A and B are shown apart, each in its own frame.
Chain A
Amino acid sequence: AQTIHQWPVAEIKAVGSPLSLGCTIKGKSSPNLYWYWQATGGTLQQLFYSITVGQVESVVQLNLSASRPKDDQFILSTEKLLLSHSGFYLCAWSRDWGNTGQLYFGEGSKLTVL
């Protein structure tokens, strides 16, 4: 069975500090991977997606970047946090080519920027 794990569960960071959020998928080779952002009480906004190692496509940047260093790992980061970065970050995976887009989500990482 496939599992997806995000880390950290929650972070409280200062404006201007760096950030790194991670996501690992086990039990599925070559998944499509996605980062979503959710403001409190809001909808899910897609940020990035990746179909293979080393390739990441940006949908909405929000002064963030993403990388896929391994087949099963997806990293979201920034060198300087803004107040607007606060929210809930969700990593998700879907099957590769020919998929319907059905997503399986991680537990999420709650970010508070002060």
Chain B
Amino acid sequence: AQKVTQTQTSISVMEKTTVTMDCVYETRDSSYFLFWYKQTASGEIVFLIRQDSYKKENATEGHYSLNFQKPKSSIGLIITATQIEDSAVYFCAMREGRNNNNAPRFGAGTKLSVKP
């Protein structure tokens, strides 16, 4: 069965620094998709970035990038040059397999606070 674990409950960083959030996952599938989502204080959830399991290259999207370590079943989110607006809860998620309709399973979330 699939499982997604985020052990960092909360992180506090200074503005303009780089932060890494951890996520490990469990799956028996050889093909899967990994996601990071951001939930703002209003409750809005937005998609940030995706890593496909068959791709060796780490995904990047603006000031978000991933550290995909497949042998360790790890997918870390890296935010560079953090801004106050990055303060939010970040969820890691995984969806197994292709061509099915299962929704991603989410981790517990990591609350990021960016201080001026």
Contacts and interface: CB of A to CB of B under 8 A. Distances in A.
Given A49-B101, A98-B98, A102-B50, A44 B44 contact: no
Interface in A79-105: 88, 90, 92, 94, 97-98, 100-105
Interface residues of A, number: 26
B35 interface: yes
Which 3 pairs of residues, A with B, have the shortest CB-CB distance?
A: A101-B95, A105-B45, A44-B106
Interface of A: 32, 34, 36, 42-44, 46, 49, 51, 57, 59, 88, 90, 92, 94, 97-98, 100-105, 107-108, 110
A55 B46 CA distance: 27
Given A42-B108, A43-B109, A100-B95, A49 B43 contact: no
Contact of B103 (A43, A94, A107): A94
B30 interface: no
Interface in B13-54: 33, 35, 37, 42-47, 50, 52
- Most A CB contacts (10 A, CB to CB) among B52, B101, B102 go to B101
Contact of A103 (B52, B104, B109): B104
Nearest to A35: B103
A107 B32 CA distance: 27
A46 B103 contact: yes
